[in-house]
Structure 1
Amino acid sequence: MTTWTSDEINRIATADELEVAPLGGDGTRLRPVPIWVVRHDDDLYVRSYKGDDGRWYRAAKASGQGSIQAGGVDRDVTFVAEDDPGLNEQIDAAYRSKYHRYGQNYVETIVSPGVRATTLKLLPR
């Protein structure tokens, strides 16, 4: 299994946004969408701000593959659904800590139950 290098994970985790481009149903890469990304331990996580309505999220969930760019890192990834309640609480805390400067409305949306249900772990390929 491929893992993030410490340089990659640090550069991605400290980037304000990540551009995600999942594969569509026909196998072509969708147009990149800027989203928030957080780190917990040595893993990276993303969520769909629009919940299940996020086009990029639906494509990522369906294909399980795509690419990301952040902090000068450009990698193909596998998307893995994450639904562990204890881990999601820690991911919530990471979102609150990293993005608090954007205001409570944005942060409370990204940690709300409907959005929390879209948590995806990013695994490098």
Structure 2
Amino acid sequence: MADWNGTDLDKVAAAEELDLASERANGTLRDPVTMWVVRSGGRLYVRSVKGPDGPWFRGTQSLHRGRIEAGGVRQDVTFHRADPGEYAGVDAAYRKKYGRYTSIVEHVLTDPARASTLRLEPR
């Protein structure tokens, strides 16, 4: 597991949104998708509102690699499925950061969304 440097971790975590592009089998990047990003401890996470059936999520599952951009940081990453033990911290982070969007934030707190929780690690 690779760790984020403190400055990049802080910048990405503070960003309102993140652009994520997963890598295709031929090495090219898919078009980026804009989403919410949260920090729990020293790690960054994203979730698919549509759960594991979400198109962008499925794209991350072929090579588990891609690129993110947020808060002035552009970083190649690997996508790791979060363990269920990480879900509570990620839920709390979504509620804290995006709680003002009450009707929307609940969509990333469902069981299908939790099942799509990805930990972003720099590479």
Structure 1 gap segments, 5+ residues each: none
Identity of aligned pairs, percent? 46
Structure 2 gap segments, 5+ residues each: none
Name the structure 1 match of 2:114. Answer: 116
Name the structure 2 match of 1:88. Answer: 87
Name the structure 1 match of 2:41. Answer: 41
Name the structure 1 match of 2:6. Answer: 6
| Partner SS for 1:63 | coil
Give the Cα separation in 1 of the matches to 2:18 and 2:28. Answer: 19
Query: Normalising by the residue count of structure 1, what TM-score does the alignment of the two structures yield?
Result: 0.93
Q: Deviations over 1:7-52 (max 9, x none)?
A: 0000000000000000124331000110111001110001011212
Query: Normalising by the residue count of structure 2, what TM-score does the alignment of the two structures yield?
Result: 0.94
8 A contact 1:50–1:115 mirrored in 2: yes
CA RMSD in angstroms, aligned pairs only: 1.2
Give the Cα separation in 1 of the matches to 2:106 and 2:40. Answer: 19
In the alignment of these two chains, the number of paired residues is 123
Give the Cα separation in 1 of the matches to 2:54 and 2:81. Answer: 15
